[in-house]
Amino acid sequence: MNIEQARFNMIEQQIRPWDVLDPAVLELLAVVKREDFVPPAYRALTFIDTQVPLREGGARGQCMLEPKLEARLLQELGVQRHHEVLEIGAGSGYMAALLAHKAQQVLTLEIVPELARLASENLKRASIVNARVIEGDGSAGQPSEAPFDAIMLSGSVASVPQRLLDQLKVGGKLIAVVGSEPVMRATLVTRHGEREWASRELFDTIAPRLLGFDEPTRFTF
């Protein structure tokens, strides 16, 4: 496989047509080597428009998102160079690497110990020094290091917990895929004041569940 040609095709045929047009994001996707964050057993899937499993026999949802969805979420969050960013769901560390190239500091939380180690090792190998992995329950965020300029949920939730919204700075933004199959939407929440948040639905998509978040009660009759 010609890796650079495959990367070019991914950007031009999958990502750009999905309304990812920010030149800085497109350039970043060409620079950060996605293949270095994909487990060896699944390396052939690196540039394909599909989710990539992160461990053999792992629970459903332990995967890298499709490249076009990763890119679109990154673009919509609009991270700036001075930002302190929290990511929920480190996975392989790839999104943290992308965020680290745009932000001042990135803290990424991963509830699965094996994946926390994988993300940490991948980031170190990629010489990313401004991203840190903490093993822990992402649904609680990291209040001891809040507030954050931006929060990225790298997966879906039934709803965004208020405790995460409380960890945004005023003016800060959180992005997540919200809802339950078959209806989920990428949603951007902006904090406008001490007790004021505004939510905007961006586009329809589907993403695996993040572990540790509450699910809606299912009634039985």
Backbone torsions φ then ψ of 138, nearest 5 degrees: -65, -25
- Percent of the chain's residues with pLDDT above 70: 95
- Rounded Cα distance between 18 and 16, Å, is 5
Q: Which domains does the chain have, with CATH numbers?
A: 3-204 (3.40.50.150)
Q: Is the distance from CB of 99 to CB of 87 less than 8 angstroms?
A: yes
User: With the C-alpha atoms ordered 184, 185, 191, 197, is the resulting torsion angle positive or negative?
Assistant: negative
Instruction: Tell which residue, 67, 51, 47, has the closest CA to residue 4.
Output: 47
Say if residue 143's pLDDT is above 50: yes
Q: What is the pLDDT of residue 56?
A: 65
Q: For 90-141, write each residue's pLDDT tens digit.
A: 999 999 999 999 999 999 999 999 999 999 999 999 999 999 999 999 999 9
Q: What is the pLDDT of residue 92?
A: 97
Q: Which of 57-61, 70-74, 199-203 has the lowest mean pLDDT?
A: 57-61
Average pLDDT, the chain: 94
Q: Is the distance from CB of 37 to CB of 43 less than 8 angstroms?
A: no
Q: What is the pLDDT of residue 216?
A: 75
- Percent of the chain's residues with pLDDT above 90: 92
Q: For 28-66, write each residue's pLDDT tens digit.
A: 999 999 999 999 999 999 999 999 999 765 445 589 999
Q: How confident is the model at residue 218 (pLDDT cuts 50, 70, 90)?
A: low
Considering the entire predicted model, what is its pTM?
Answer: 0.94
